[in-house]
């Protein structure tokens, strides 16, 4: 997995662009800046955007190359992010630590996904917000991005099950037009979720 992402990010081009995901951007704008966790933050586009709004950002990802590009992007935007190279299963999720957690196109096998989602909820402070977007299972076969394995894609039912303990504020499947670098481009079926911890 690490080799896959290092290979993908090992170029001057930002393969998902330098701008944040639009849904993440919209939802984050509703919140007062605090401490933010971004698992699988890749080349840092979402973390750098959040830092620019005044968030204290902790990002992690498998990829050393992703970290290099994230720090370069942060430097060019005059911000800092705390970027850790680690797997989700190895990250030490502190309890009740973050005001928000952002999961943007994080596609994992079932057991890893469920563990990550449990840990993200654990790490939220009471009242903290979880912002999630990813490809729906109906995205399979489309060329606008996402895994080619249906088991790595999401259903609304999975989101209900994983985030049932949160107070839902946004929960929808939509077809959106993505313009996020070369790999997320075109009309795509995505799930959008935002919910708070009681």
Query: Tens digit of pLDDT for each residue in 81-127?
Result: 999 999 999 999 999 999 999 999 999 999 999 999 999 999 999 99
What pLDDT, on the 0 to 100 scale, is given for residue 1?
A: 66
What integer is the mean pLDDT of 161-166?
Answer: 98
Give the tens place of pLDDT for each residue, 147-158: 999 999 999 999
CA distances from 138 to 148, 157, 173 (A): 11, 13, 10
What pLDDT, on the 0 to 100 scale, is given for residue 134?
A: 98
| pLDDT > 80? residue 2 | no
What pLDDT, on the 0 to 100 scale, is given for residue 23?
A: 98
CA distances from 97 to 56, 72, 119, 198 (A): 12, 27, 11, 14
Give the residue extent of every domain in the chain.
2-197
Taking a C-beta distance cutoff of 8 angstroms, is the pair 148, 174 a contact? no
Beta strand pairing status for 124-135 and 184-197?
antiparallel
| pLDDT > 90? residue 8 | no
- CA–CA gap between residue 69 and residue 85 (Å, rounded): 13
Q: Which fold has domain 2-197?
A: Rossmann fold (3.40.50)
- Give me 44's structure tokens: 């840092």
């Amino acid at each position: 997995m690490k080799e896959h992402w290092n290979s993908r990010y090992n170029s001057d081009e930002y393969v998902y662009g330098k701008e944040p995901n639009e849904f993440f951007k919209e939802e984050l704008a509703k919140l007062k800046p605090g401490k933010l966790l971004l698992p699988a933050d890749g080349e840092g586009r979402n973390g750098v955007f959040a830092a620019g709004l005044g968030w204290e950002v902790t990002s992690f990802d498998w990829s050393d190359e992703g970290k290099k590009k994230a720090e370069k992007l942060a430097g060019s935007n005059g911000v800092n992010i705390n970027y850790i190279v680690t797997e989700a299963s190895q990250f030490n999720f502190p309890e009740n630590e973050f005001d928000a957690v952002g999961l943007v196109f994080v596609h994992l096998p079932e057991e890893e996904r469920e563990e990550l989602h449990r840990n993200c909820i654990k790490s939220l402070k009471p009242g903290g917000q979880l912002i999630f977007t990813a490809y729906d299972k109906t995205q399979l076969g489309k060329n606008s991005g996402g895994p080619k394995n249906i088991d790595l894609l999401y259903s609304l039912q999975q989101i209900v099950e994983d985030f049932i303990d949160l107070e839902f504020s946004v929960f929808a499947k939509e077809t959106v037009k993505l313009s996020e670098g070369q790999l997320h481009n075109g009309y795509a079926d995505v799930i959008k979720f935002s919910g708070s911890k009681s």
